[in-house]
Amino acid sequence: MSFFDELDSGLTARELALVRDTERFCTEVLAPRLVQARSRGEPCERTVIAQWAALGMLGLQVPEEGGGFGASFLCKVRVAQTMAGHGFAAAFCLNNMQGMATRLWRHGSAVQKERLLPGLLAGRLIGAPAMSEPTAGSDLTQLRSQAVRTEGGWLLDGSKAWVSNGAIANLLMVLARTTAADGSQAIAGFLVEPEAGKAFAATPHELPGAMEFRLAEIVFERHFVPDWALIHAPGEAFRASMEAINAARVHVAAMCTGSLHAALCTAVAYCGQRTAFGQPLLAHQGLQWALAEVAAHLEAANALVVKAARRIDAGTCSPELAASAKKIAVETATEGIEQCIRAMGAVGATAPNGLVALASEVRLAAFADGSTEMLNDRIGRGLATAYSSAPAAGEQQGMKQP
């Protein structure tokens, strides 16, 4: 059985074909470009985005009537896993663009879809959600960006940090606070075209070993946003964003397992053919057990990803389950890839096999869509609800509790 069989069993024949198309794209286009870009210390050239868009993959979850494939979340996860085996950051950013198109289709107005969706699907518009701020990460209640009503639209002031693709994005989905006439505040969502105004600046974040994220801080100063660009009315953006974060956490978890699977396959192949003291490295019990630990934890993390992904498709994934999937997958991948590198010795640290690059990129998954500490807090707050149905230990044995 294949490692991916559990997910593949839930895909249609058309979705399985999309996964095969993804693998071909990664092998023929993405992987060679990543190797070249890493040797230069730069992100991949943007032509990769155009080639990915030409396959129609930026419309993966957009229905056919909107110009996409109408694929399930399971398919999105499987595509992400395939890509993450070649490059975690590249997978994250390309799928982030795909997520923007999906969100526009699901929540956008007819005018927004007509004006923006064709560009997103073709890769001419580089979409990027912009929620986190220098003083507010996943805690959206701490947002300080403000949108003030003006004639024909809104004036946007504030800054957004750690925006994936922010260095090249030309369409942002920005969350900002609004103030009603009675003084009450609510969070709204805006589709912001940076080039449509001059009051805008993007500064790339310097992240050695993780340039492919193209992270940037973006600052707005009285940036005009027209009325038609309001995608989430005041009071609606918070709930929509929380739903998106729930799915994003499972998506990140799936990419982590995809990256670790690729690293483990690389390590097993190398250790199976490299000999030391008269036998293959993989025949030495100490190393064999070390990689066995990686494999066992990978299978457990992937089982949690599969469960959460199925729940996302069914609309029944709790925040606690999504948080658990991401927490376990990130921790498993971070530790597991390092173990794979150690198992291969000095060869594991060389550029051609890509393991060090995967390790550098995957470690940032611990911060995307909620840090591990935040996830622990989210899981902890749900304990009383999730684990309250089983009888106490004494009751199970016919004993009364004092």
Domains with residue ranges and CATH for the chain: 5-125 (1.10.540.10), 129-234 (2.40.110.10), 238-385 (1.20.140.10)
Beta-bridged to residue 230, according to DSSP, are 190
Average pLDDT estimate for 227-233? 97
- The overall average pLDDT reported for the chain is 91
The rounded distance, in Å, linking the Cα atoms of 186 and 160 is: 18
pLDDT at 21 over 90: yes
pLDDT tens, position by position, 54-100: 999 999 999 999 999 999 999 999 999 999 999 999 999 999 999 99
* For the ranges 245-249, 326-330, 365-369, the one whose mean pLDDT is highest: 326-330
The rounded distance, in Å, linking the Cα atoms of 99 and 250 is: 13
pLDDT at 272 over 50: yes
What is the pLDDT confidence band of residue 355, given thresholds at 50, 70 and 90? very high
Residue 388 has a pLDDT of 82
Amino acid at 39: S
The rounded distance, in Å, linking the Cα atoms of 27 and 317 is: 33
The rounded distance, in Å, linking the Cα atoms of 114 and 135 is: 35
Residue 200 CB-density burial (10 A; 0-12 exposed, 13-18 middle, 19+ buried): middle
Strands (E), 164-234: 171-179, 185-192, 200-204, 216-226, 230-232
Supply 323's token pair: 């948080």
The rounded distance, in Å, linking the Cα atoms of 296 and 167 is: 38
User: Which residues, at least 6 apart from 146, have a Cβ–Cβ distance to it below 8 Å?
Assistant: 156, 157, 158, 176, 177, 178, 179
The rounded distance, in Å, linking the Cα atoms of 370 and 138 is: 6
Q: pTM of this prediction?
A: 0.92
Strands (E), 205-324: 216-226, 230-232, 275-276, 279-280
The rounded distance, in Å, linking the Cα atoms of 190 and 172 is: 8
Better pLDDT: 194 or 178: 178
Q: Could you give the percent of the chain with pLDDT greater than 70?
A: 94
146-150 and 153-163: which strand pairing?
A: antiparallel
